[in-house]
Amino acid sequence: MTNVGDSINATNAAWSFGGNTVLNFEDHVSKSVPFYQEGQDLICQISDFFLKSDSICYELGTSAGTLVNKLATYHKDKGTQFIGIDHVEDMIDYAKTHYQTQNLHFVLDDVLTHDYQHSDLFLAYYLLQFIHPSQRQDLVQIIYNQLRWGGAFICFEKVRAPDPRFQDLATSLYTDYKLKQGYSPDEIISKSRSLKGVLEPFSSQGNIDLFKRAGFVDIMTIEKYICFEGFLCIK
């Protein structure tokens, strides 16, 4: 086990969201993902266009529950129901303990097999990159099928660049970013090694192709910084 920063330890090609990771997860991801909080605030603002009093909103891969709780608090007087789903028991236990908004529920389940109700908004905040590529299209298809017409899927992802030159540039810029956040070179390398075979980003176009194959036609980038991108897909 090696330190990847913020008192989180991981081994080569074996990053895990369970165990002690949950205790420092929010601090770690907020420092590791540019504009992490701003992306969540943007989602809250966009949700005004899609959520009504009888709506259900799902966050898939809710982790510690921060985003879906922020949305539930933002819409606390509207009557919308918010459901955060994750297959990591430690994360769901943490979320249930820390966030108890009346219109918010956390469910321990696999996002690929959960029995969804029809929804006006699905969220995947840096989730698809952790779904095996062979199952990624299946999940996006489930989301599309369970969305009501006019509903939206908001998806934020780490993305690969369109060619090697741009990928080298993006990797270098992101390394500089993490150094500025206070991570040591050893921590950055250890984190990268721990994610081998665990985090598999697609390119921007690769993600858009996923959305289009599922049936989405109206797709727009709503946030972009180096190798991180947010997409809004409307059914």
pLDDT tens-digit profile, the chain (235 residues): 788 777 777 788 667 787 778 888 888 999 999 999 999 999 999 999 999 999 999 999 999 999 999 999 999 988 899 999 999 999 999 999 999 888 999 999 999 999 999 999 999 999 999 999 999 999 999 999 999 999 999 999 999 999 999 999 999 999 999 999 999 998 888 898 988 888 999 999 999 999 999 999 999 999 999 999 999 999 9
Rounded to 10°, the helix 204-214/133-146 angle is: 50
Report the length, in residues, of the chain: 235
The predicted pLDDT at position 234 comes to 98
Taking CA atoms, 11 is separated from 2, 90, 115, in Å, by 6, 19, 34
The predicted pLDDT at position 2 comes to 81
The predicted pLDDT at position 13 comes to 66
Nearest Cα residue to 129 out of 194, 211, 197: 197
- pTM score of the predicted model: 0.95
Helix spans in 33-163 (H): 36-47, 66-74, 89-98, 133-146
